[in-house]
Structure 1
């Protein structure tokens, strides 16, 4: 077998790093950040403890790079763009986003991102490095800025209950995050019906 060239070697390295980051997100999501150890990530990824340190210098670095990597591939910005371009009503757009949140993407990390961010959101700002705090804050702000206009438009059209829009959105995100932090697997069966029931909390009757 001919030796791999530099491009092929780099591709192999990127694939192995992605394998570790995907495993890391699952372990962080399942155990929380404080209880996660590098050895647990290595075991989940099926690699040696030392190989993880070949790619990352610390657990904090694994966490930051894994979140950044996953967020870039989570397609959430594309999803909001497609929803905004669609002719769906505001409530239907919120429903489609909710379904997306409960559905794992092609990299099977979508729900893990929500769960890790939920763990971090409950942490004290002083308990995490600035770069991780800023990344989590930026992610949360993106969802707020993207969803707020849909909630406001839905209230204006009469689809969504009246009241403080920001407070209503905060309640919605808290519920969604809570489900993600627990286990969204159950929601994936008969999802349309379950999401319809869930969204009754914001639907005008």
Structure 2
């Protein structure tokens, strides 16, 4: 006896397409974060998403389009914003919050989308020749991190935890170091992570 499944209606089809596209974008974020944009191939994204190479092209025309929409998806889903909301709601001191953020920056990609977006944005900060629309998206994402971290640095300076001086410049140095590490070999930093994070924070903290 054969069992016939009722065909999906238009709403169900649209939902299934959205879910499949999100599946590919989540996989893309992980692959971009782990391998860097230049080394990432469509086939790697398809493998991570557990879909066919051709299906990826059904939803996206190019690797640049996947990159753009994936970053946009990660930012718009408020996953990055939620990380900072949770961080600010905690009872940690400003320096402890910056330490938590630094630790988060070097975690493996499976810790969440917010971590992947940050790592990709930091990698792209040192890449030349990005298409204008991707450059603008990365710039806007970078501004978000600056706006989110600036109050922590200001509060840390006020409490005497962080060295005095131009807050914007100090934060710029901190993020430039993170960007350079992300573009080089973040896997190195995951070994003895706590010790390396402590060393990194010494450049901004009062000891």
TM bracket, shorter-chain basis: 0.7 to 0.9
Q: Does 1:137 align with 2:139?
A: yes
Cα distance in structure 2, aligned partners of 1:177 and 1:50 = 33
Give the RMSD, CA atoms, in angstroms. Answer: 2.9
In the other structure, the counterpart of 1:54 is 58
Q: 2:204 aligns to what?
A: 202
Spell out the pairing of 1:14-93 with structure 2 (5 A cutoff).
14-73=18-77, 75-93=79-97
> Alignment partner for residue 5 of structure 2, among 2, 5, 12?
2
- How far off its partner does 1:77 sit? 1.6
Whether the aligned pair in 2 keeps the contact of 1:25 and 1:109 (CA below 8 Å) is: yes
The aligned residue for residue 186 of structure 2 is: 183
- Residue 104 and residue 110 in structure 1: after superposition, are their counterparts in 2 closer, same or farther (change >3 A)? farther
Q: Distance in 1 between matches of 2:56 and 2:142?
A: 28
Contact 1:101–1:110 (CA under 8 A) maintained in structure 2: no
Q: TM-score, length-normalised on structure 2?
A: 0.79
- Please report how far the alpha carbon of residue 86 of structure 1 lies from its aligned counterpart in structure 2 after TM superposition: 4.4
Specify the alignment match of 2:167 in structure 1. 165
Which blocks of at least 5 consecutive residues in structure 2 are unaligned? none
Who is 1:101 aligned against? 105
Q: Is the 8 A contact 2:21 2:59 kept in 1?
A: yes
Structure 1 residue 184: Cα displacement: 5.0
In 2, Cα distance between equivalents of 1:178 and 1:135: 19
SS in 1 for 2:202: helix
The offset of 1:81, in angstroms, is: 3.0
